[in-house]
Structure 1
């Protein structure tokens, strides 16, 4: 048995803590806030079992031109912040070349294949089934051209990975989703994915399970991490805590901490926003409004709208541009009043240019471990990468973990 510090109480950190605990280790999770109160709180709450291939950067000129001119709601960017992110964007563009993306997808699919099994056992043990819907994930297309193109791509992916896919026109969708009243060409329904009515609440349920099994959850400053003899030490509300191992699961804050130890971690921090709208009809599943760049999902606090990516520094002020566009588009689709909006929230997805999370031992510091860089899929992959990390800590490196380590550029 080893004493292990896990820095970060989001889905990734709690997933790692539970996996390490299950192998008999004494685990302490440290975070400045409560479980699931940072990036894990703000997502669309989808466990994406259909996401066998990571999101590649588009390489066709019309799409890139729309992004550059600000004509797409999928991506917005800031000219003053562009120089700082240009090297990572270029690396992402190169990794998105078809041959490289195909190789990366082989590793990614190995991870995603495990998602429902890894989450399912925790959902049952945590008694959190009331938070989970097993009704799939939808994609809505307004125009026939976009729908036909998306269906052709989706059909190939569904066949390649044995995924459940349905293509419905508006008439066929209506009995399932009477709330969707606006004009649309069709919808794709990925039947394997699950969703959650309270993402932060699901992380909290997992964290309670961790504590019920004897784990410690402490408030503290992860940035105080330092060497302590042959192990590691961090300051917490109860005083310094020492351990043989330390796991960095801090999402977008992982890079700044690791720079203190001489590691240069290249990540794109994709800012995303959400807000809630009350008094709207309930949806049976989350939907991506594909041509308007947002996801809508019924949550405990109302209908949540989440945006695509905004490329800005973490300290930049909030911008309403993407959410305002999303609210207008959702109002058309639902034929509902979208003016009663809730508080504007934002967070940053820690996305690595090679589209793979970094999971495994630090190359130059014994007892230091990495588990971050999950991009859009930290909520989906947290328990799975936690299992891979726990296996490596005990001397076993599964094939998928080998690929994640090989992807590191430190």
Structure 2
């Protein structure tokens, strides 16, 4: 292959693939580099939601009871490794501070321009990539078992009213009408109707990557760790030989720090690991849309491979061995919520979410190097935000007028 290109994009998850598409569409020659296939890391394992209604971030809890429960390390929605605490605690402290009312308001202000365009950008990609069959416009249900959590849900609903979202309030009869196979014990729910549900997140990313190549882009296997400055700009080693470029985009998700730290940048990128496992439904049971059991601390989502059970956050070293205790804790609860049969896989899948304390990504250029760009840290919303942040980054690289002010996503904001 020709060893020169305009832009190298490092990382073929949803974020990197999306940036590569937008750049290729704008006339830049792009080479996408990953050690694996497209969408086979963090982008593969998630709830499959294009979360068009997720206005408020996953803030650090401040209720004393919740903090005590998490500290006991026996919950389904959060787990931590004791060995990782010396590394994790300073980051959690910053996360706690950024989750103040003032901090959350700042995050909402920064996230909303991205959130509100997220589904539109995906649908544009889907139509072009002939991938619309992955999308089901059924929203998702947030279900409650306890009065206290239901009250919090209703308070959340009030705060969301200014954003013009379509949200239905469901009583037990309403839940049963929309999801007839859910078990007893739910006392109310919110049906968020704006988000899209994806039946195979990894498959969607692969479809986008295929579309990228039809535009003339090139996708090659390579090791991002070989990135080095070159007289022409940047160079990385690939299976097809060295590739040189004027610009390089670091879109490596939870591995992004392995590049930017070597180049002299300091950003507080944290990791929230997560797990999922698929199950066959028993008999003729059908789940029509993703359902979050708030008090159970897990989510069930209908996927091509079966019913996907997803867990909350695990705070551990990124590369530590899997410890899927949250899945083990969730399975008995999940079988009470929905008639799950046998597991599809022998063991749960594990991935790592790249998160910044203020719950916003970094979309910016490196101020110490010419042609260095950052696109990572999308926390729980990589699938949601990949296409829209890819557009913003491409506009910045090509000198277009950005569709929104990029300053909330600066690399030097910490």
TM-score (norm 2): 0.95
Contact 1:252 1:269 in 2 (8 A): yes
Task: Name the counterpart of 1:279.
Answer: 281
Bigger drift between 13-22 and 70-79 goes to 70-79
Matches within 5 A, 1:177-196: 177-196=179-198
Structure 1 position 133 matched with structure 2 position 136: yes
Q: Corresponding residue for 1:17?
A: 20
Q: Secondary structure at the match of 1:227?
A: strand
Structure 1 338/327 Cα, relative in aligned 2: closer, same or farther at 3 Å? farther
**Gaps spanning 5+ residues in structure 1: where?**
none
Residue number in structure 2 paired with 1:169 = 171
**d(CA) in 2 for partners of 1:66, 1:243:** 50
1:108 aligns with 2:111: yes
Q: Which residue, out of 90, 95, 114, partners 1:92?
A: 95
**Which aligned pairs between 1:24-173 and structure 2 lie closer than 5 A?**
24-157=27-160, 159-173=161-175
- The 10-residue stretch of structure 1 (62-71 or 229-238) with the greater mean CA deviation from structure 2: 62-71
- Aligned partners of 2:159 and 2:407: how far apart in 1? 28
Instruction: State the partner residue of 1:389.
Output: 393
| Residue in structure 1 matching 2:256, options 248, 254, 257 | 254
Tell whether the 8 Å contact from 2:362 to 2:411 is kept in structure 1 after alignment: no
Q: C-alpha deviations, 1:210-242, integer Å up to 9, x for none?
A: 011111000000110001104100011100001
**For 1:302 and 1:383, how far apart are their aligned partners in 2?**
26
Aligned counterparts of 1:342 and 1:184: Cα–Cα separation in 2: 30
Structure 2 unaligned regions, length at least 5: none
- Partners in 2 of 1:97 and 1:165 — Cα distance? 26
Cα pair 2:281 2:339 within 8 Å, conserved: no
Name the SS for the 1:276 alignment partner: strand
Contact kept? 2:362, 2:377, Cα under 8 Å: yes
Alignment partner of 1:288 is 2:292: yes
Per-residue CA shift, 1:312-337, capped at 9, x if unaligned?
11222211310012111110111444
Q: Is the 8 A contact 2:268 2:357 kept in 1?
A: yes
Is the Cα contact below 8 Å between 1:111 and 1:400 reproduced in 2? no
**54-63 or 352-361, which moves further after superposition?**
54-63
User: Cα RMSD between the aligned structures?
Assistant: 1.6
* Counterpart for residue 319 of structure 2: 315
State whether residues 138 and 189 of structure 1, in contact with CA within 8 Å, keep that contact through their aligned partners in structure 2.
yes
In structure 2, do the counterparts of structure 1 residues 336 and 215 end up closer, same or farther at CA, with 3 Å as the change threshold? closer
Say whether 1:380 aligns with 2:384.
yes
Deviation at 1:340, TM superposition (A): 6.2
Instruction: Find the partner of 1:270 among 249, 269, 272.
Output: 272
Between 1:175-184 and 1:343-352, the stretch displaced more is: 175-184
In 1, Cα distance between the equivalents of 2:87 and 2:410? 25
| Larger CA deviation: 110-119 vs 71-80 | 71-80
In 1, Cα distance between the equivalents of 2:66 and 2:286?
Answer: 33
Q: Is the 8 A contact 1:155 1:165 kept in 2?
A: no
